[in-house]
Structure 1
Amino acid sequence: MAPGFKKGAKDSPVDKITDDILADIFSRVPYKSICCCKCVSTRWRDLFSHPDHRKKLPQPLAGFFHKGYNKNRFPSEAQYFTNVSGKGDPLVHPSLSFLPNYDSLDILDYCNGLLLCQCCNTSDYVVCNPATEKWVDVPATEWSSEAQARIGFDPAVSSHFHVFEFIDEEGWGIAEEEQHDCFNRIEALAIYSSKAGGWKHQNFDGFEFAVFYDSRSVFFNGILHVATSEGFILAIDVEGNDRGLVTIPIPPYNDDVFVDDIFLSQRQLCTACVDRSQLTVWVLEDYKSEKWTLKHNASLLELFGEGYRGTVISFHPERNCIFVVCGHENTLMSYDMDCRKMCSICQLERDCQPKRVKTPFLPYVPLYSEPLADGN
Structure 2
Amino acid sequence: MHSTLRKVCSDSSTMNLPSELLAEVFSRVPIKTIINCRSVCKRWRKILAEPYFANLHLPRSAAGIIIHQGLSNPYVDILKMAELNDKADHHDIHHEYPLMKFMPRLGLEDGVMWLSGSINGLICLGSEKTICICNPITRECIFIPDQKFIGKSHPTLHHGFGYVESSDQYKVVRFYKGSFSASEGSYELGCEVYTLGTRMWKNLGHVPFYIGGYGDGICVGGNLHWLASHQKETADDERLCSFDLERESFQLTAGPVVPQVVGYTTYRNLGILGGCLCVCDNTPDLEFAIWVMKDYGVTESWSKEIVIHTDFLYWGTLDEEVYPLKVLKDGTILMYCEEHELFTYHPGTTTTQDHTFPDGDYKTYNAMVYVPSFVSLRSTFMLENVLVL
Structure 1 pair 141/343, CA: closer, same or farther in 2 (3 Å)?
Answer: same
Higher deviation after alignment, 237-246 or 279-288: 237-246
Name the aligned partner's letter for residue 225 of structure 1: H
CA distance in 2, matches of 1:330, 1:202: 35
- Other-structure match for 2:11: none
Q: Structure 2: how far apart are the matches of 1:266 and 1:23? A: 31
Q: What residue number does 2:274 align with?
A: 266
Matches of 2:144 and 2:172 in 1, distance apart?
9
Letter in 2 for 1:57: R
Q: Residue in 2 aligned with 1:128?
A: 134
Alignment of 1:76-155 (within 5 A): 81=80, 83=82, 85=84, 86-93=93-100, 95-96=101-102, 101-102=106-107, 104=109, 106-112=113-119, 113-117=121-125, 123=129, 125-142=131-148, 143=152, 146-154=155-163
Which whole-Å deviations, capped at 9, do the CAs of 1:286-333 have from their partners, x for residues lacking one? 42335310111121112226x44374543224545131449xx94432
**Which residue in the other structure is 1:293 paired with?**
303
Provide closer, same or farther for how the CA distance between residues 293 and 363 of structure 1 changes in structure 2, counting only shifts above 3 A.
same
1:209 aligns with 2:214: no
Alignment of 1:219 with 2:225, yes or no, is no
1:159 is displaced (CA, Å) by 4.5
Task: Give the Cα–Cα distance (whole angstroms) in 2 for the partners of residues 273 and 302 of structure 1.
Answer: 16
Q: CA deviation at 1:59?
A: 1.9
Aligned residue number for residue 245 of structure 1: 253
SS at match of 2:209: coil
- Once the two structures are TM-superposed, the CA of residue 264 in structure 1 deviates from its matched residue by 1.7
Residues 300/210 of structure 1: CA separation in 2 closer, same or farther (3 Å cut): same
**Do the aligned partners of 1:248 and 1:259 also contact (CA within 8 Å) in 2?**
no
* Number of corresponding residues: 315
1:169 aligns with 2:178: yes
Shift of 1:360: 6.7
Q: Who is 2:40 aligned against?
A: none
Q: Which amino acid aligns with 1:212?
A: G
Q: Is 2:280–2:322's contact at 8 Å kept on the other side of the alignment?
A: no
CA contact (8 A) 1:54 1:368 kept: yes
Distance 1:340 1:21 in 2: 47
Mapped partners of 2:343, 2:281: distance in 1: 17
Q: Do 1:316 and 1:322's aligned partners in 2 also have CA atoms closer than 8 Å?
A: yes
The Cα offsets for residues 183-205 of structure 1, whole Å up to 9 and x where unpaired, read as xx42x211111254422112345
Q: Distance in 2 between matches of 1:283 and 1:310?
A: 21
The structure where strand makes up a greater share of residues is: 2
1:57 aligns with 2:64: no
**Unpaired segments ≥5 residues, structure 1:** 1-19, 28-43, 180-184
Quick check: 1:346 aligned with 2:356? yes
1:361 aligns with 2:366: yes
What is the alpha-carbon distance in structure 1 between the residues aligned to residue 212 and residue 145 of structure 2?
A: 23
CA contact (8 A) 1:164 1:190 kept: yes
Contact kept, 8 Å, 2:326 with 2:335, in 1: the verdict is: no
Change in Cα spacing, 1:298 to 1:134, as seen in structure 2 (3 Å) is same
Q: Matches of 2:344 and 2:153 in 1, distance apart?
A: 35
Q: Please list the CA deviations of residues 148-200 of structure 1 after superposition, one character each: whole Å capped at 9, or x if unmatched.
A: 34233338555431111212236x68755545xxxxx42x2111112544221
TM-score (norm 2): 0.65
**TM-superposed deviation, 1:235:** 0.6
Cα separation, 2, equivalents of 1:293 and 1:201: 36
> Which amino acid is 2:335 matched to?
F
Are the structure 2 counterparts of residues 118 and 295 from structure 1 closer, same or farther at C-alpha, using a change threshold of 3 Å? closer
Q: Which residue identity lines up with residue 65 of structure 1 in the other structure?
A: H
- Whether contact under 8 Å (1:159, 1:371) holds in the other structure is no
CA apart distance, 1:254: 4.9
Q: Equivalents in 2 of 1:243, 1:96: separation in Å?
A: 36
State the distance in 2 between where 1:292 and 1:370 align.
35
Residue in structure 2 matched with residue 370 of structure 1 by the alignment: 375
Could you tell me how far 1:63 is from its partner in structure 2? Answer: 3.4
Letter of the 2:67 counterpart: F
* Structure 2 unaligned blocks of 5 or more: 1-19, 35-47, 49-55, 85-92
- Note closer, same or farther for the CA distance 1:337–1:351 as it changes in structure 2 (3 Å cut): farther
Residue 281 of structure 1 and its aligned partner are, at CA, apart by: 1.3
The whole-number CA distance in structure 2 between the counterparts of 1:309 and 1:273 is 11
Q: Pick the aligned partner of 2:195 from 161, 170, 193.
A: 193
Structure 2 match to 1:34: none
Secondary structure at the residue paired with 1:262? strand
Alpha carbons of 1:348 and 1:309: their partners in 2 closer, same or farther (altered >3 Å)?
farther
CA offset at residue 338 of structure 1?
A: 4.5
**Contact 2:80 2:96 (8 Å CA) reproduced:** no
Question: CA 1:350 to 1:325, structure 2 compared with 1: closer, same or farther past 3 Å?
Answer: farther
**Structure 1 residues 89, 362: CA separation in 2 closer, same or farther (over 3 Å shift)?**
closer
RMSD in angstroms over aligned alpha carbons?
A: 4.0
Fraction of identical pairs, as percent: 13
User: What TM-score, normalized to structure 1?
Assistant: 0.67
Kindly provide the CA deviation profile for residues 329-376 of structure 1, in whole angstroms up to 9, marking residues without a partner as x. Answer: 944322233443312212455855x5xxxx672414133153332153
Q: Deviations over 1:234-266 (max 9, x none)?
A: 111124324233324423455635244211232
